[in-house]
């Protein structure tokens, strides 16, 4: 590959380079056509509660809103209500969902802002429809299971209610909180009553101390002893007073003192107090000890008023002491009851919670059974319609024209140079001249007058015939005084057009008035008989084997031009050409013709070409740059150098019109004696026996 001739490389590889540039530009423009600004539509769906966002009551977690909105049925349902041509999978990938409290924010992107709004709105509507259908289907499928659960829920509720009622009855409470509050207030009221009674008792005790000074300690002891023994009626009165005191304390905690109940209880309390005090006086006066003392007091002159005060004070004191005892008993009972309330409250809390749970389960089951799936409503609604802001949310990167042009030129250059480097064929005349330093005698343009693989006759067209006339003149000018008379025309490999060059050179020479003999010496794939459309039944091989006469085998194909076909194919052409008969023929040709042209086999494919070249005046090498590779030409040159052949020069065949080659000036060379080199002939293998088998090879259409 010649990096110094980029224009020549491009001319050789213009088609793939152009395709590479066009591909890059096409792909780049195709890519840019899809890089459109994206607009985002945003809408909001609000749910009744946070739980509904994830599954909803009774829903399956697989039916969460995120999955439903992106599902293909919902997307397809939304697209069916718009005129969008977007693919459902593409739309699903363009959806973004954000959880915001008990709401879902749905975003959809599209190059068309109006279409983004339509699709976003229809997506939310399709989701609500799909969500409602799913809930109805699940409710219908769960109805049978709910009916089975109802009896158990009913029994659980009844059991919980019965347990609560039984506990409240056993604990003698109606309302834990209210009862506890009333008890605390009652205890506070009783404490106030105790305080008042203690104050009154203190006053009575002070009076007793004064009376003790008047009546003496014995009298006071006797009075106390007489009052200590209660009668059955006194005990009943004290018990009734205790109950009244307790009820009064509770009622005062529950209502004001002006209420009828409190007033009634106060009246009873007053009556009982008076009755107890009166009973105490009767018991005291009726006792024998007191009557004996009363006689003594009367005899001793104690005033009756003092005795009355003693009786009144001591009975009042006794009544207060009994009242305090009753109040303290009530307070102690209330404190014990108050200490029981934490356990009662905990038990009530547990039983109440059990009853509420059972009641909730029962109500949920009955509500679901009463509700019809067709009357079910979705727990969500569209709280914000899909809208698009005025500006696009994303502007994709597009390839600028200058970058596409640069990438296209770079790709085209890489493709051209890469293909040129990978192509090992000879590129042009300059490359051929660099490898094989032979005189360039002719440059045959690429001919299009016949199929590619057929020999081509060009001298009927003046323009196409001119290169062959120039070749004839250049051969003549090699040595004008003694031009080459016997020429072997060959090529490095098969297919380079040596048969075409040989035939057209023969015609060009014959048209100058010289007698020319064209010999098809290619014993493997002869072509000249097909080129001239003559028979190949008798030819060179038959003459060399003495099966035919030379004069009878040649065919006049044009004025002053005769053709000797190859004849019957021979398995060992070397043995034929090294025979004495070949020497005799060459000597004969020198006397009969002005120019003898031998169309021989390719140099790298047959050894007989080297043999013929040694017998001739020289070899003309045909090179086709678009057929032969560099290695083929080097191999052929190596064969010619080792065999010390006289190479008259080269002929470039199939040169394209834009590839011009300037011939180097041909320097006239010294005349060389025209002799047949018999020494070389004697060193070659002997001629084959007459018993050798000759197998003709079918004709082919290759050049």
CATH code assigned at 661: 3.40.50.300
What average pLDDT does the segment 123-147 reach? 79
Which pair of structure tokens corresponds to residue 321? Answer: 């002491």
Rounded-to-integer distance, Cα 602 and Cα 596, Å = 18
Q: Is residue 378 part of a domain?
A: no
Query: pLDDT category, 323, cuts 50, 70, 90?
Result: confident
Rounded-to-integer distance, Cα 323 and Cα 589, Å = 175
- Selected residue with higher pLDDT from 385 and 369: 385
Q: Which 3 state secondary structure label does DSSP give 654?
A: strand
Rounded-to-integer distance, Cα 105 and Cα 130, Å = 18
**Is 450 a residue whose pLDDT tops 50?**
no
Rounded-to-integer distance, Cα 660 and Cα 536, Å = 38
Give the rounded percent of residues in the chain with a pLDDT score beyond 90.
11
Rounded-to-integer distance, Cα 593 and Cα 586, Å = 10
- Selected residue with higher pLDDT from 351 and 276: 351
What average pLDDT does the segment 600-618 reach? 87
Query: pLDDT category, 40, cuts 50, 70, 90?
Result: confident
Please give the pLDDT value at position 681. Answer: 34
Rounded-to-integer distance, Cα 183 and Cα 580, Å = 155
- Selected residue with higher pLDDT from 658 and 629: 629
Q: Same domain for 206 and 305?
A: yes
Q: Which residue in 54, 155, 644 sits closest to 358, CA to CA?
A: 155
**In terms of residue numbers, what domain contains 409?**
1-34+397-423
Please give the pLDDT value at position 397. Answer: 66
Q: Same domain for 506 and 359?
A: no
Query: pLDDT category, 553, cuts 50, 70, 90?
Result: very high
Rounded-to-integer distance, Cα 355 and Cα 161, Å = 6
Crossing angle for the helix pair 217-228 and 260-286, to the nearest 10 degrees: 120
Please give the pLDDT value at position 464. Answer: 67
Rounded-to-integer distance, Cα 500 and Cα 450, Å = 11
Please give the pLDDT value at position 509. Answer: 92
What average pLDDT does the segment 299-325 reach? 70
Between 177-186, 271-280, 383-392, the lowest mean confidence (pLDDT) is in 271-280
> What is the tens place of the pLDDT at every residue in 197-213?
888 888 877 887 777 76
Q: Is residue 576 part of a domain?
A: yes
Rounded-to-integer distance, Cα 139 and Cα 132, Å = 10
Rounded-to-integer distance, Cα 386 and Cα 369, Å = 37
Please give the pLDDT value at position 297. Answer: 66
Query: pLDDT category, 423, cuts 50, 70, 90?
Result: low
Q: Same domain for 412 and 493?
A: no
Please give the pLDDT value at position 542. Answer: 93
Between 214-218, 312-316, 473-477, the lowest mean confidence (pLDDT) is in 214-218
Rounded-to-integer distance, Cα 106 and Cα 496, Å = 73
Q: Is residue 140 part of a domain?
A: no
Helices (H) and strands (E) in the chain, counts: 25, 12
Can you spell out the DSSP letters for 646-662? -EEEEEEEEE-TT---P
- Selected residue with higher pLDDT from 481 and 496: 496
Please give the pLDDT value at position 111. Answer: 81
**Is 674 a residue whose pLDDT tops 50?**
no
Q: Is residue 11 part of a domain?
A: yes
- Selected residue with higher pLDDT from 220 and 72: 72
Rounded-to-integer distance, Cα 118 and Cα 83, Å = 9
**Is 697 a residue whose pLDDT tops 50?**
no
Q: Same domain for 348 and 457?
A: no
Q: Same domain for 182 and 227?
A: yes
Strand spans (E) along 549-594: 555-558, 561-564
Rounded-to-integer distance, Cα 703 and Cα 698, Å = 14
What average pLDDT does the segment 87-112 reach? 85
Q: Same domain for 521 and 640?
A: yes
**Is 684 a residue whose pLDDT tops 50?**
no
Q: Same domain for 335 and 230?
A: yes
**Is 255 a residue whose pLDDT tops 80?**
no
**Is 702 a residue whose pLDDT tops 80?**
no
Please give the pLDDT value at position 231. Answer: 64
Q: Same domain for 261 and 359?
A: yes
Q: Same domain for 402 and 480?
A: no
Can you spell out the DSSP letters for 248-261? HHHHHHHS-TTSHH
State how beta strands 561-564 and 555-558 pair. Answer: antiparallel
pTM of the complete model: 0.44
Rounded-to-integer distance, Cα 500 and Cα 624, Å = 12
Maximum Cα interatomic distance, the chain, rounded to a whole number of Å: 214
Q: Is residue 187 part of a domain?
A: yes
Q: Is residue 306 part of a domain?
A: yes
Which strands sit side by side in the sheet containing 516-520, from one edge to the other? 440-445, 647-655, 618-623, 486-491, 595-599, 516-520, 561-564, 555-558
Please give the pLDDT value at position 667. Answer: 45
Q: Same domain for 418 and 514?
A: no
| Number of structural domains the chain divides into | 3
Mean of all residue pLDDT scores within the chain: 76
Please give the pLDDT value at position 665. Answer: 44
Query: pLDDT category, 14, cuts 50, 70, 90?
Result: low
**Is 565 a residue whose pLDDT tops 80?**
yes
Q: Is residue 95 part of a domain?
A: no
> What is the tens place of the pLDDT at every residue in 644-659?
888 898 898 887 765 5
Q: Is residue 636 part of a domain?
A: yes
Which pair of structure tokens corresponds to residue 270? Answer: 């007053």
Q: Same domain for 592 and 669?
A: yes
Q: Which of 423, 457, 492 is the last residue of a domain?
A: 423
Please give the pLDDT value at position 599. Answer: 93
Give the 3-state secondary structure of 435-496.
HCCCCEEEEEECCCCCCCCCCCCCCCCHHHHHHHHHHHHHHHHHCCCCCCCEEEEEECCCCC
Q: Same domain for 245 and 357?
A: yes
State how beta strands 380-388 and 516-520 pair. Answer: unpaired
Query: pLDDT category, 670, cuts 50, 70, 90?
Result: very low
Please give the pLDDT value at position 677. Answer: 42
């Amino acid at each position: 590959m010649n990096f110094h001739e980029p224009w020549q490389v491009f001319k050789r590889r213009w088609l793939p380079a152009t395709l590479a540039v066009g591909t890059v530009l096409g792909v780049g423009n195709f890519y840019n056509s899809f890089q459109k600004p994206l607009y985002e539509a945003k809408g909001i769906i609000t749910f009744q509660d946070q739980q509904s966002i994830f599954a909803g009551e009774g829903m399956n977690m697989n039916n969460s809103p995120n999955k439903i909105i992106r599902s293909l049925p919902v997307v397809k349902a939304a697209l069916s209500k718009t005129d969008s041509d977007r693919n459902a999978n593409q739309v699903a990938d363009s959806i973004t969902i954000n959880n915001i409290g008990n709401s879902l924010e749905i975003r959809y992107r599209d190059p068309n802002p109006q279409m983004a709004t339509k699709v976003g709105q229809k997506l939310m509507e399709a989701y609500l429809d799909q969500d409602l259908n799913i809930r109805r289907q699940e409710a219908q499928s769960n109805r049978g299971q709910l009916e089975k659960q109802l009896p158990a829920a009913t029994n659980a509720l009844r059991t919980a209610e019965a347990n609560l009622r039984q506990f409240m009855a056993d604990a003698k409470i109606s309302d834990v909180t209210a009862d506890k509050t009333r008890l605390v207030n009652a205890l506070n009221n009783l404490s106030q009553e105790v305080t008042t009674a203690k104050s009154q008792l203190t006053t009575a005790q002070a009076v007793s101390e004064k009376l003790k000074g008047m009546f003496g300690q014995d009298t006071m002891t006797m009075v106390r002893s007489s009052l200590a023994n209660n009668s059955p009626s006194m005990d009943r009165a004290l018990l009734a007073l205790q109950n009244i005191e307790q009820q009064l304390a509770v009622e005062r905690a529950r209502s004001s003192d002006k209420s009828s109940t409190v007033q009634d209880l106060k009246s009873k309390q007053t009556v009982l107090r008076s009755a107890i005090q009166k009973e105490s006086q009767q018991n005291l006066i009726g006792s024998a000890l007191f009557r004996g003392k009363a006689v003594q007091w009367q005899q001793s002159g104690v005033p009756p008023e003092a005795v009355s005060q003693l009786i009144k004070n001591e009975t009042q004191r006794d009544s207060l002491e009994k009242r305090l005892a009753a109040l303290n008993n009530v307070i102690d009972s209330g404190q014990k009851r108050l200490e029981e309330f934490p356990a009662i409250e905990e038990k009530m809390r547990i039983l109440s919670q059990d009853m509420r749970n059972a009641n909730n389960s029962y109500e949920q089951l009955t509500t679901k059974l009463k509700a019809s799936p067709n009357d079910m409503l979705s727990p969500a609604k569209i709280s914000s319609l899909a809208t698009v802001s005025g500006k696009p949310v994303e502007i994709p990167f597009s390839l600028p024209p200058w970058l596409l042009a640069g990438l296209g030129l770079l790709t085209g250059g890489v493709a051209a140079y890469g293909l040129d480097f990978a192509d090992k064929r000879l590129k042009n005349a300059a490359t051929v001249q660099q490898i094989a330093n032979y005189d360039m005698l002719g440059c045959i343009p690429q001919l299009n007058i016949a199929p590619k693989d057929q020999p081509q006759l060009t001298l009927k067209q003046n323009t196409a015939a001119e290169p062959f006339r120039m070749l004839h003149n250049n051969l003549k000018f090699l040595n004008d005084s003694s031009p080459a008379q016997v020429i072997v025309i060959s090529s490095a490999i098969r297919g380079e057009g040596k048969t075409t060059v040989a035939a057209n050179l023969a015609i060009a020479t014959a048209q100058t008035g010289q007698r020319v003999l064209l010999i098809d010496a290619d014993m493997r794939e002869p072509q000249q008989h097909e080129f001239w459309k003559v028979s190949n039944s008798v030819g060179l091989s038959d003459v060399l084997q003495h099966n035919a006469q030379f004069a009878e085998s040649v065919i006049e194909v044009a004025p002053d031009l005769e053709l000797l076909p190859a004849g019957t194919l021979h398995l060992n052409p070397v043995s034929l050409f090294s025979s004495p008969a070949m020497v005799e023929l060459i000597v004969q040709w020198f006397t009969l013709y002005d120019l003898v042209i031998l169309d021989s086999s390719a140099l790298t494919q047959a050894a007989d070409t080297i043999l013929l070249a040694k017998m001739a005046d020289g070899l003309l090498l045909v090179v086709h740059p678009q057929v032969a590779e560099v290695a083929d030409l080097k191999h052929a040159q190596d064969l010619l150098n080792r065999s010390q052949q006289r190479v008259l020069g080269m002929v470039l065949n199939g040169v394209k019109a834009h590839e011009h080659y300037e011939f180097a000036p041909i320097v006239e060379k010294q005349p060389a004696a025209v002799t047949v080199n018999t020494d070389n002939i004697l060193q070659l293998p002997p001629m084959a026996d007459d018993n050798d088998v000759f197998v003709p090879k079918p004709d082919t259409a290759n050049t």
